[in-house]
Amino acid sequence: MTTLTLASRWNPIDWHLTEGRIPHAVLVLGWAALFALAVGRGRSWWRVRLPAALFTAAALSLLLDVVVDGWWHPFPEGTPEYVTWWIAVALLGFCLAGYRFRRLTWRRRGIALGLSGLVLLMAASEINIGFGQFPSGRVMLAPWLTKTDGLVPAKVGQTVTVPPEKVLDEVWRPPADLPTKGTVSVVSIPGLRSGFKARDAYVYLPPAYQANPRPLLPVVVMLTGQPGEPGDWVLRGQLNERMDDFAAQHGGLAPIVVMPDQLGSTWANTLCLDSKIAKMQTYLASDVPFWIHQNLQTATGRKSWAVGGASMGGTCALQLGVNAPDVYGTVLDMSGQEEPTLGTREDTVKAAYDGDGKKFDAVDPLQVMARKKFPDTNVALLVGETDAEFKPQMEKVYQAVQGAGMKAKFELMPGGHGWVVFRPGIVQQVPWLARQTGLTR
């Protein structure tokens, strides 16, 4: 074992945070801390202060639930139950510490705060395990550790020609000096036709894009969930690393991946529709492809272009597949919804179309597929096998895409809803995307 391997193994930022000894130790310490805070001396503690702490934690949890899911409503499907539970546990830890404070010395107050901090750490760890957001410290620190590059120049003099009966990797011969890694760039994609004010997008260009003659690579537009950021697929999903792994096995070839903003801000929800909220379909089906054609040298035509996403981004990908089929010939929908939503159909139609249900029906993907056939569209659907909220919706979507004549597949992944499914999901589906877009056989 080399020194470099040992250094990597013992680097704390690479230790697993969602499985193994660390989350188990945090769980044990957290419950021990909560037990220590709950046990006290004297009748007043057991008869008054402990019941008061329990009541206060329950009241605060209920109030938070009303504010988040009843008033703010950032998640159309509501806050997951396990998240609500662990937030309540964390609040209980602080309430128990608070009801002890008045009778403690300063030293013991510090201990009580430390114990409540351990309870909070336990709750945060369990929520992170559920979502799979930060599998390691390196992913948590990715916004500061990830290196971005300037965009590779758009045009070269020569490109690789692929005969009609061939796919790209059958005719491609990588040069000896080809880089081993692709590039990640942060770019601005203006809403020239839509008027949408988007946050900066991320672009992954595989190693082969830096060659001359250059292969004309397929394009995959990847969309994040809501709440989300355009860079989530790089910063949380390590998509660039997965693409580099694929490229290493295919002479530097991998799809170009463009990760635009379909939200406008972290908590916004544009529904991916052209509506009074935003002209999002125009942005993703017109503005983004126009920018790509102007700034990148890629394969053209719907057979070489795919759109994918997770959660709300998966719903959006399906919408584009049926409402802009001339642009995107392949769809990857991971844990999406059966229709764009702000919670209820009534709320959605009111916010998007001033209550005009016919306008919503015209673009609702399941209703579009009930009216039209898409025999030349490829669709991959995947969802977590324990995702009680989204799995039934994805099963309904699968029936609809089959009815619309699409070339479809449906797969279950271990886990629930979040990066615990999306991260391995994209690894599993990259070869499929490459085949559907003419990169590999």
Q: How far apart are CA 45 and CA 199, in angstroms?
A: 52
Question: What SS3 class is residue 215?
Answer: strand
Per-residue confidence (pLDDT) for residue 385, from 0 to 100: 97
pLDDT 10s digits, 185-202: 999 999 999 999 999 999
Q: Are 65 and 87 in contact (CB under 8 A)?
A: no
In the predicted structure, residue 300 carries a pLDDT above the cut 90: yes
Tell me the mean pLDDT in the region 50-72.
Answer: 93
Q: How confident is the model at residue 248 (pLDDT cuts 50, 70, 90)?
A: very high
Structure tokens at 440: 């590999």
Of the pLDDT bands very low, low, confident and very high (cuts 50, 70, 90), residue 9 is low
* Calpha distance 38→99 (Å, rounded): 10
In the structure encoding, which two tokens stand for residue 312, read together? 């709300």
Element holding 49 (H helix, E strand):
none
pLDDT tens for each residue of 358-410:
999 999 999 999 999 999 999 999 999 999 999 999 999 999 999 999 999 99
Q: pLDDT, tens digit, for every residue of 30-52?
A: 999 999 999 988 889 999 999 99
Distance of CA 284 to the CA centre of its chain: 17
Give the separation between CA 205 and CA 183, rounded to whole angstroms: 5
Q: How far is CA 286 from CA 290, 320, 413, in A?
A: 6, 11, 33
User: Length of the chain in residues, anyone?
Assistant: 441
Contact 224, 147 (CB under 8 A): no
Residue 330 has what pLDDT? 98
User: Distance between CA atoms of 256 and 217, rounded to whole angstroms?
Assistant: 6
pLDDT at residue 6, as a whole number: 47
Question: Nearest 5°: phi and psi at 155?
Answer: -120, 145
- Computed over every residue of the chain, the mean pLDDT equals 94
Q: Where are the beta strands (DSSP E) in 168-288?
A: 183-187, 201-205, 214-215, 219-223, 256-259
What is the token pair recorded at 213?
């003659």
The arithmetic mean of pLDDT across residues 300-320, rounded, is: 97
pLDDT band at 135 (very low <50, low <70, confident <90, very high): very high
Collapsing DSSP to helix, strand or coil, 113 comes out as: helix
Out of 3-7, 247-251, 322-326, least confident range: 3-7
Class in CATH terms, 151-436: alpha beta
Which residue has 């271990």 as its token pair?
414
Sequence spans of domains, the chain: 11-131, 151-436
Measured distance between the N- and C-terminal CA atoms of the chain, rounded to whole angstroms: 37
- Closest-CA residue to 152 (of 225, 256, 63): 256
13 DSSP 8-state letter? G
Cross-strand partners of 331: 307, 379
CA 72 – CA 86 distance, rounded (Å): 20
Alpha helices (H) in 218-356, listed in sequence order:
232-235, 239-248, 280-282, 288-295, 312-323, 345-353
pLDDT tens digit sequence for 318-338: 999 999 999 999 999 999 999
Q: Cβ distance 23 to 124 under 8 Å? A: no
Name the more confident of 349 and 105. Answer: 349
- At residue 5, the pLDDT reads 52
Strand order in the sheet with 201-205: 183-187, 201-205, 256-259, 219-223, 305-310, 330-334, 378-384, 407-413
Task: Check whether 8 has a pLDDT greater than 80.
Answer: no
Q: Predicted confidence band at 152 (pLDDT cuts at 50, 70, 90)?
A: confident
Residue of 417, 421, 440, 415 whose CA lies nearest to 430:
440
Residue of 188, 206, 204 lying closest to 196 (CA atoms)? 188
Task: Evaluate whether 260 touches 187 at the Cβ level (below 8 Å).
Answer: no
Confidence of residue 1 (pLDDT cuts 50, 70, 90): very low
pTM of the model: 0.92
Residue 303 has pLDDT above 70, yes or no: yes
Q: Is the pLDDT of residue 3 over 70?
A: no
HSE-CB for 26 with a 13 A CA cutoff:
20
Tell me how far apart the alpha carbons of residues 13 and 15 are, in angstroms, rounded to a whole number.
6
